[in-house]
Structure 1
C-alpha cells in the first residue's frame, strides 16, 4: 500500500542561475563563494540532496535556514546524535491514545479485533517526526529538510536514510509506504567526526565548506555586525586569520566565533584591538582553556603588533 499526498498547487520560484543563487544567499546576509553557490544551484536544479562537510562554525547549517527564509519554505530540522532511532526521527505510535481507544471499544462491546487493530494503527494515532514531516506536502512548496551533524548518528540510522534519500519514501509496517509527491530540499551537514558511507554520499552533491578568505570574512563581519568600527573589523579578521594560519589550536575559531567576538568588542566600545581586552575576551573566540592559555598575554601582544605591521606595510 502506498500513501501519497497531493502536491501543493504552486511553489516559490527557485533561482534560475548561479548568479541568482548568490544573490538569493546575499539577500539573507549569507556571503558565499562561487563554488558553494554553484553546487547549491545544481542541487536545487537536479533535486539532489546537498551534502556539506566542514569544521564546526563555518556556516553549513545556516545555508538551510537561509533557503527556508528566502524561498518561503518550512524548515524541518533533524538534529542527529548517538542513539538516534526511527521512533525519534521518523514516527511513533501514540500508545496512550491507542489504549484509550481500545478501552472505549471494549466498553461499547466491540469485539472485532481485526477492525479494532486497523483502527488503532491508523494515521490519526501516528506521531510524525521530522523525516515523516519532510515527506508531507506543504502549501508553500516542498520543505527544506535539514539533517544536521549526521556524523553524530549511528551507521545503522545512516543506512536507514538511504530509502528516504533515494526514493523519498518511508515504509511504516502497519500502514504501508508513504511517498512524497514533491521531494523535500535536503541539506545534510557533517563535522567529519567520522566518515559517512559512500552509498549515502553517492546520492548527494558534495561540497566542503572551508574557512573564508580574509576578504570574504571581512564582508561577513561588516554585513552581520553593521555597528562594528571599520578599523576594528579589519583587525578582528586579521587576528582570526592569523590564529588559523599560524597557531596549532585544538579548535580553530569558526565564522560564528568571529561574529560573536566582533559583537562582544563592539559592546565594549572598542575601536581597535588592545592586548588586555583581547586576552580578557578570548573565551568568546576560543572554546578550550589550553588554546586560551597559548594565546593570551605576550602572544596576544605579539600578534597584534604583527598584524599592524602587515597593515602598515600594505598601506
Structure 2
C-alpha cells in the first residue's frame, strides 16, 4: 500500500492515535508521520514504560496492518529472528525417499530445502506480501541484542531483503513499517541509526499523563487521578533505581480503582507500591518520612 494510504497530515495522525487511546506528544506524532510517508524505520529510545512499544501496537490496529514483533535478547541469532530449516521434517522426508527407493541425491537435496521446510521467523515474515498492506515490524529492545545481530539488521533495513543460501534472496514487495525501540542499556551503532528517523520518548508532562490516566482508567475519580499523577511525577524527581513509567502509572491507577480508593493515604500507598515500583530497594526507600513528604506533595490542594 502506498504512502498515500497513510494519514495525510500530522494532525490527522494525532487524531488517529488519540482515537486508539494513545495520547502522543506532537513531536512524536511528527516523526512517526514522516517515517510513514518517507518509508523509513523509526528508532525510538527512552526509559522503559514510556510508550515506545505501544505506538507500534496502536499503529498496527489503527492502520489495519498485521503486527509482527521481534523481542530482542542477548544471544538472539538468525535462526530465532529470521529463519531456520525444520530438521525433523527434512529427516522424515529423507527417510520416506529412501523407503520408496528414491536414491537421486541431487534431487533429494533440492527437495529437502524447499520452502515448505522453511520455518519463517519474524524478520522473514515481515517481508512477505499481505492483502492488508505491509505489516508493522516491531524490533523491541534492540539494545538487549548483541552487536553482531545489530550488524545483521543493516541488510534488512537498507534493502528490506534477506538472503537464504539454499533459496536465494527474498525481497519485500513493499517495505514494512518498522519501529525499533531501545531502553539505552547500551549505545546502538551509528550505521543502524543512520537508516532510521530518531526520536527520544520522554516521560510525559503532568497534564498529558493525567489525560492518559483518565483515558485508560475511566472509572477513577478526578481527585484520585490528580493525586496519582502528582505522586508519580514527584517520584521521578527522586533518585530511584527504576523510576515508574507511564505503564506503571496506569497499572497503579487501575489497582487503586479496583480497591475503590477515593484518595491517597499512607496505608493505601504502602499496600500498593508494588504496582508502581518494581525493585525492593526502591520500595524500601519510599517508607516513613520519604513517603509522608511525597504524599503531602501529591495531595495538598487536591
TM-score by length of 2: 0.97
**For 2:131, what is the secondary structure of its paired residue?**
coil
1:295 is aligned to 2:286: yes
Matches within 5 A, 1:1-315: 13-245=5-237, 247-309=238-300, 311=301
In structure 1, C-alpha distance between the alignment counterparts of 2:269 and 2:26, rounded to whole Å? 33
Asked if structure 1 preserves the Cα contact closer than 8 Å seen for 2:16 and 2:62, the reply is: yes
Instruction: Report if the CA contact (8 A) 1:11-1:141 is conserved.
Output: no
Task: Say if 2:139 and 2:180, in contact at 8 Å, map to a contact too.
Answer: yes
Report if the CA contact (8 A) 1:12-1:140 is conserved: no
Q: 2:152 aligns to what SS in structure 1?
A: helix
107-116 vs 34-43, greater mean Cα deviation: 107-116
Alpha-carbon distance between aligned partners in 1 of 2:177 and 2:298, rounded to the nearest angstrom: 43
| Whole-angstrom CA distance in 1 between matches of 2:284 and 2:100 | 72
Shift in alpha-carbon separation, 1:96–1:308, aligned structure 2, 3 A: closer
Structure 1, unmatched stretches of 5+, are: 1-7
CA RMSD across the alignment: 1.4
Please state how far the C-alpha of 1:216 moved relative to its aligned partner: 0.2
Deviations 1:205-235 (A, max 9, x none): 0000000000000000000000001000000
111-120 vs 63-72, greater mean Cα deviation = 111-120
Q: With structure 1 as the length reference, what TM-score do the two structures score?
A: 0.93
Q: State the distance in 1 between where 2:88 and 2:259 align.
A: 53
Aligned residues: 302
Runs of 5+ unmatched residues, structure 2: none
